[in-house]
Structure 1
Amino acid sequence: MSGKKKRDREYKCTNRLQESKRPLYGLAFNLTDARYKNVFASVGINRVTVYKCLPQGEVTVLQAYVDEDKDENFYTVCWSCDDFGCPMLAVSGSHGVIRIIDCSQFRLQKSFTGHGGSVNELRVQPQKPELLLSASKDESVRLWNIKTGVCVLILAGSAAHRNEVLSVDFHPSDMKKILSCGMDSSIKIWSLKDFWRYVEMSFTWDGLRTDFPTKYVQFPLLSAFDVHNNYVDCARWLGDLVLSKSVDNEIVLWKPPKVLGNGHSDGSVDVLQKYAVPECDIWFMKFSMDFHCTTLTIGNREGKIFVFEPQNSPLAITKLGTPQCKSPVRQTATSFDGSTILCCCEDGSIWRWDLSTASSKDE
C-alpha cells in the first residue's frame, strides 16, 4: 500500500431525486450483469424503485414495487439474476421477510421466512448469484439458495454473534469463505468448506423447502474483537484483506491473522491503513466500492461523501458536497467503473455525482 496521495478526481453533482420524506436505507448498482451496469435500485419504507442512469446526469424510473405490507420498512437491496440472465432483486428489512422480485415482470416471485428479527443486509455471491447471504437482528447469518428457495446454512450459536448482525460479504474469489460483523463489536470470518455438500445439494433440491436439511454452523474461523470498540455496521473484503467501519469516523483496512485451527490464530489482526471520515459517528452508514474495488465511497451525517482509492492511499482523493444536501447519507452506490457515485439520505433524497469529462480523460 502506498501512502502517497494521488491527483484529485473531480466529480460534479448532476441530479437530485426526492423519493419521499421518509428515510432511504439501501441503494445498489447492478454489478451482477454488465448489460445493466447503469441500473440501480433504492429501498425505503415498503417501496423498491429501479432507475437507470442516462447521459448528462439524467435519471429515469424504470419500475417501482410497493409491498402489500404497509408496515414494512426495507433496509437493504441487492441484485441477482435467474438461469436465463434476467435481473432479480432481493430486498428485506424490518419484518425479516426476504422478498425476491422478478425484474422482467417486476412482480414478487418468492418470499423467504425464518429470521426472528429484521434483516439488516443482503449480499449475493458474485460467481453464483443464486446464493444469498442475510444478516439479521436475531444474531444469525443465513445462506439461501434463491433458485430453489431453501435455507442452506444458519451461522449462529455459541461462538457466533452475540448481538445484531449488521453486515455480511462473500469473499471475491473463495466461494467457501464469508465475513460478518455486528453490534457485538466483532468481525467474524467463516469457512463453509465442511458444509459445501449442502450448498451443492441446494441447487437441485426439488422437495419442500422445509424438508431441506439446513445445517447450523456455530464456529467461525476467526473472531476479531480488537479492530473496533463499538458497533461494526459495514465490512467488505478487499482481496484477502478486510475493510470495516464502526462509529469512530474512520474505515479500517486490516489483514486477518493466519488461522491455526479450532478458531485459534497466530496473533492479532494487522491494521494496515485507516481512512478518516469526519462526522461519521452514527451507525447504519454503509460504504460501497466499484466492481474492481479501486474506488471506495462513504457518506457522513452532514450529507458529505468521501472518495478513496483504497488500494493506493489512506487519504481521500476528493470530498463531495452541496449546500442542499445536509441529511445523513445512509448508503452510497458506486458504479461499475467508479465514474458515477450515488447516495441515499435520511430525508428520502438520492443524489448523483459524475466524474467530470476532464478528469475521466486524464484517468
Structure 2
Amino acid sequence: MVSDKYTTYFKDHSRVKDFAGHSSKVHTVAWSCDGKRLASGSLDKTACVFTLEKDRLVKENSFKGHGDAVDQLVWHPSNPQLFATASGDKTMRVWDVRTAKAAATIQTKGENLNITWHPNGECIAVGNKDDLIQFIDTKTFKAKGEKQFKFEVNEISWNNAGTNFFLTTGTGALHVLDYPKLSKVDELVAHTANCISIQFSDCGKYFAVGSADAIVTIWDAVEVMPLRTMSRLEWPVRTLSFSHNGRLLAAASEDHIIDICNVHTGEQVATVPTDNPTFSVAWHPSKLLLAYTCDDKDKYHKDLGNVKLYGLIKE
C-alpha cells in the first residue's frame, strides 16, 4: 500500500530541526517556486528569507518596513526572486530577495489577513478584516478591482488554472467566483462550521478545506466534488499543505501534532509532534520536506521566532 511506503519513510526520516529568524512568533511560512528559499512572516513586523543548504536553513535577509505583524505571505508562482506580504498595517508589499527594500508598497483599505498570487503572476489578491478583497495589478502595483462581501471571508485562493477564485467563509460554505468577472459560480456547503483554510495541490487534481469543525475535506479540483474527510484533529484546522506529488496532505491546528495523511485514502501516514499550536505548514515543492511554525515559548514564556523543518533534508 502507498500508506505503508510513506509510513516507513517518515519513520526512518523523522528528524525535526529548528532555525531562528525572528524575535517573536512566526505566523506564516512558504517556499519559493524553485525550493531554494523559504520565507517567513512574523509578529515582529518582519519577513525573513532563508536559503536551503544541504541539511539546514541559512538566514539570508530580514525584510523590514511593515508597521504591524506580517500575517501571511506568498511567493510569485514562477519567479523565485519575488514574494508578497500582507499586514495589519493596511499595506501589501512586494519584495525582491536581491534587495532589502520593498519593490512596491501598496496602500490597502483595511487590516490585511490573507493574500494569494494569480497563477500567471499578473495579479495579487489581498483580503482584510472587513471582508473586502482587493486585486492588485503586478505590472502597475495599483488596484484593478475589489469585491466586498457581507459574510466572513477567511482564506482566498485561485484554482491552478486561474479561472476561478475560491473563498472559505464563516457560513461553513465554500464560495466559487468566476475570474476576472468575480460573479458567483457556486456555493458549496462544505462543513458544519466556519471554513478556515484552503489549499490546492500543485498537480491540479485536488484541493483541501480545513474547518472550525476540526474536519479536513479533500475535493476533486476538476469536478469540484468532495472525495473524503479526515477527522483526527480536535481543534479548528488553520493550515494545510499538499506535498509536491499531490499524494500527501499536512494539516494542523491547536492540536499538538501535525497530521500527515495519504490523499488517496485519507489514512494517516505520519504525525509530527509539537509542543504548541501550529500556525503554518508548507511542503517543499520537490522534496518530502515540511516547513512549519508553532506558538513556541522559552522558559521565561517569551515568544520564539523559530522555523522548523521535518523530514529528509539532504536527498
Taking structure 2 as the reference length, the TM-score comes to 0.74
- Do the aligned partners of residues 55 and 276 (structure 1) sit closer, same or farther apart at CA in structure 2, a change above 3 Å counting? farther
Quote the residue 1:277 is aligned against: 190
Quote the residue 2:281 is aligned against: none
1:221 Cα offset (Å): 0.9
1:176-226 CA distances to partner (integer Å, 9 max, x unpaired)?
3221112121122121223xxxxxxxxxxxxxxxxxxxxxx5x5111111x
CA distance in 1, matches of 2:192, 2:83: 32
Quote the residue 1:321 is aligned against: 231
1:240 Cα offset (Å): 2.7
Please tell me whether residue 113 in structure 1 is matched to residue 26 in structure 2.
no
Equivalent residue letter for 1:347? D
- Do the aligned partners of residues 122 and 62 (structure 1) sit closer, same or farther apart at CA in structure 2, a change above 3 Å counting? same
Please tell me whether residue 306 in structure 1 is matched to residue 217 in structure 2.
yes
Quote the residue 2:311 is aligned against: none
1:136-195 CA distances to partner (integer Å, 9 max, x unpaired)?
011111000012223011111xxx322x2111122112x23221112121122121223x
* Structure with greater proportional strand content: 2
Equivalent residue letter for 1:190? I
Paired residues of 2:83 and 2:94 also in contact (CA < 8 A) = yes
Quote the residue 1:77 is aligned against: 29
CA distance in 2, matches of 1:356, 1:192: 36
CA distance in 2, matches of 1:236, 1:356: 22
Stretches of structure 1 lacking an aligned partner (at least 5 in a row): 1-9, 15-52, 195-216, 259-268
Larger gyration radius, structure 1 or structure 2: 1
CA distance in 1, matches of 2:132, 2:263: 36
Paired residues of 1:344 and 1:351 also in contact (CA < 8 A) = yes
CA distance in 1, matches of 2:202, 2:35: 20
Paired residues of 2:64 and 2:100 also in contact (CA < 8 A) = no
Please tell me whether residue 338 in structure 1 is matched to residue 246 in structure 2.
yes
Matches within 5 A, 1:182-331: 182-194=128-140, 217=141, 219-225=142-148, 228-238=149-159, 239-256=162-179, 258=181, 269-281=182-194, 285-313=196-224, 315-322=225-232, 325-331=233-239
Quote the residue 1:261 is aligned against: none
Paired residues of 1:299 and 1:306 also in contact (CA < 8 A) = yes
Taking structure 1 as the reference length, the TM-score comes to 0.65
1:321-363 CA distances to partner (integer Å, 9 max, x unpaired)?
23xx21221111112232111111113320010145899xxxx
Quote the residue 1:4 is aligned against: none
Match of 1:147 among 98, 120, 134: 98
Stretches of structure 2 lacking an aligned partner (at least 5 in a row): 268-315
Quote the residue 1:169 is aligned against: 116
Equivalent residue letter for 1:277? A
Equivalent residue letter for 2:129? M
CA distance in 2, matches of 1:256, 1:102: 34
User: Alignment identity in percent?
Assistant: 18
Where do 4+ consecutive residues of structure 1 move more than 3 Å? 53-59, 355-359
Paired residues of 2:228 and 2:266 also in contact (CA < 8 A) = no
1:64 Cα offset (Å): 1.7
Paired residue total: 261
CA distance in 2, matches of 1:348, 1:119: 23
- Do the aligned partners of residues 124 and 326 (structure 1) sit closer, same or farther apart at CA in structure 2, a change above 3 Å counting? same
Matches within 5 A, 1:63-142: 63-67=17-21, 69=23, 72-80=24-32, 87-104=36-53, 105-142=56-93
Equivalent residue letter for 1:312? E
Quote the residue 1:353 is aligned against: 261
Paired residues of 1:307 and 1:318 also in contact (CA < 8 A) = yes
1:295 Cα offset (Å): 0.7
- Do the aligned partners of residues 294 and 187 (structure 1) sit closer, same or farther apart at CA in structure 2, a change above 3 Å counting? farther
